[in-house]
A and B are shown apart, each in its own frame.
Chain A
C-alpha cells in the first residue's frame, strides 16, 4: 500500500507557487514562490510582520492559503492537509504544552496522539529529556518552568515522532547559550529531515541553511 511518504518520490519537499495569504484586506503573504528539496534546510528571514510565521503555519497545514499552489511532502494544500498530519514537527511561538502537566505527561500525550507505542515512547521521552538536561524536572509542572525550560521541552515535542518536516519559528527564543547549543543539536539536520527555520539571527540562520527566503522586501 502506498503511504503519503512514498508518493513524494524525487519531488521537492516543499513547492510553492504564487502563494498568498490575506487576513481581511491585509495581505500577510503575497505571491511566494519556493522550491526546497527533501533533506534541505531553508532559512526564512524578514522583519516583524513580514509573514514568516504565517508561512510556517501554512506549511504545517494550520492555516489555509488564500491563493496560489502549495505542495508539502507531496500533499497539495489545503485539500490534502490530512496527509501531512503526523509528518510535521512544529515549534512555534507558543510551546504547545499544557502548563498543568509535567514534561513527561505532555510528551506522553503528544506521543500517544502520534500513535507511538507506549514503551517506545517512554524510552524516547527519557532520551530526549536527558539530551536537553531536564530529566530531573521531568515530573514537575510546566507552569513552574522558565520560558527557556519550556522551550526545551517544546523542542523535544517537535522531534518526538521523528518528523520528515521540521518547522521552527525562532527556535532559539528564551534559550541561554548552552541550551541553544543543546537544542540546536536536537533540531539540527538529520537523515530525511527537511527543515524550515524562521529566524532574526541572519548570519546564524544562513550558516545553517542550504537556501534562504527573504520576506517583506
Chain B
C-alpha cells in the first residue's frame, strides 16, 4: 500500500511538474473557455443569462475545454515511453489511472478558477452563485477526470486518437452534463441561488463518479496490455 501511494505521488508530481514547466494544457483550456464565453455572448446577443441557459453555457464550455486536456493526457506516456516504464515497474497499474485522474481533476479546478469568474463577469448580475457552485463543479470534475482518463487511455492506443476521444467520451458524459446542469440551474436563477433538487443532483453526480471510478479501476490494467 505504501509503495502504491509513493508511486501515485511520484506519477502525479511528475505530471504537475511537466505541466507547470511546459504549460501545454492549462493556458489552452483557459483561453478556449474565455473565447467560448465571448462567442456565446455575441451569438446569443445577451449580456445576462440565468437558469437553465446559464447552466448549459457554463457546463458545456467547461466540458469542451476539458477535452483539450483529455486529448493530451497520455501524450508524454505514448511519445516518451512512460507506458513501458509503468509496465516494467512492480506497481499496480491502476496507480497510473489514479494519478492521471487526479492530475486532470487538478487541471479542471485550475481552469475553473479562471473560467467561472469570467463567466460571472460576462453573464451574471452577482457572484452569489459562485460558492454553491463549488460542490457541483468538484463532483463534475471528478466524473470528467475518471471518464476522461479512461477514454484517453483507449484513444491513445489508437491511431485515430484525436477523433476517438471526443466521439466515445461525449455520449458517456451525457448523464454528467444533465446532472451538473440540473444542479446548477436553480443556483443560477435571476433572483439568486435556490436549492431545489440540489441534493438529488449532487447524489446523481456522486453516483456517476463512483461508477466510472470503479469501471476504470476494473479495466485499466487490461487497457495497458499490448
Of the listed residues A62, A105, A112, A114, the one surrounded by the most CB atoms of chain B closer than 10 A to its CB is A112
Whose C-beta in chain A lies nearest to the C-beta of B89? A113
Q: A100-B21, A105-B14 are in contact. Are A113 and B80 (CB under 8 A)?
A: no
B68 proximal to A (CB < 8 A): no
Residues A96 and B84 in contact, CB atoms below 8 Å apart = yes
Total residues of chain B contacting the partner, CB 8 A: 25
B90 proximal to A (CB < 8 A): yes
29 contacts between A and B (CB under 8 A): A61-B87, A62-B226, A85-B89, A86-B90, A94-B80, A94-B81, A96-B80, A96-B81, A96-B84, A96-B85, A97-B80, A98-B76, A98-B80, A100-B76, A101-B14, A101-B17, A105-B14, A105-B17, A108-B10, A109-B85, A110-B85, A110-B89, A112-B6, A112-B9, A113-B89, A115-B6, A115-B7, A115-B90, A115-B91
How many pairs of residues, A versus B, come closer than 8 Å at their CB atoms? 78
Among all A-B residue pairs, the 8 with the closest Cβ atoms: A86-B90, A96-B81, A112-B10, A113-B89, A85-B90, A115-B3, A94-B81, A100-B18
Total residues of chain A contacting the partner, CB 8 A: 28
Q: Mark interface residues in B66-87 (1 if CB within 8 Å of A CB, else 0).
A: 0000000000100011101111
Residues B10 and A113 in contact, CB atoms below 8 Å apart = yes
Is chain B's interface secondary structure helix, strand, loop, or mixed overall? helix
CA separation between A107 and B85, bound complex, in Å? 11
Q: List, in ascending order, chain A residues with CB within 8 A of B87's CB.
A: 61-62, 85
Residues A63 and B226 in contact, CB atoms below 8 Å apart = yes
Chain A min CB distance to B49 (Å): 40
Q: Taking beta carbons and an 8 Å cutoff, which residues of B are in contact with A?
A: 3, 6-7, 9-11, 14, 17-18, 21-22, 76, 80-82, 84-91, 225-226
CA separation between A88 and B87, bound complex, in Å? 11
Whose C-beta in chain B lies nearest to the C-beta of A88? B88
Q: List, in ascending order, chain B residues with CB within 8 A of A202's CB.
A: none
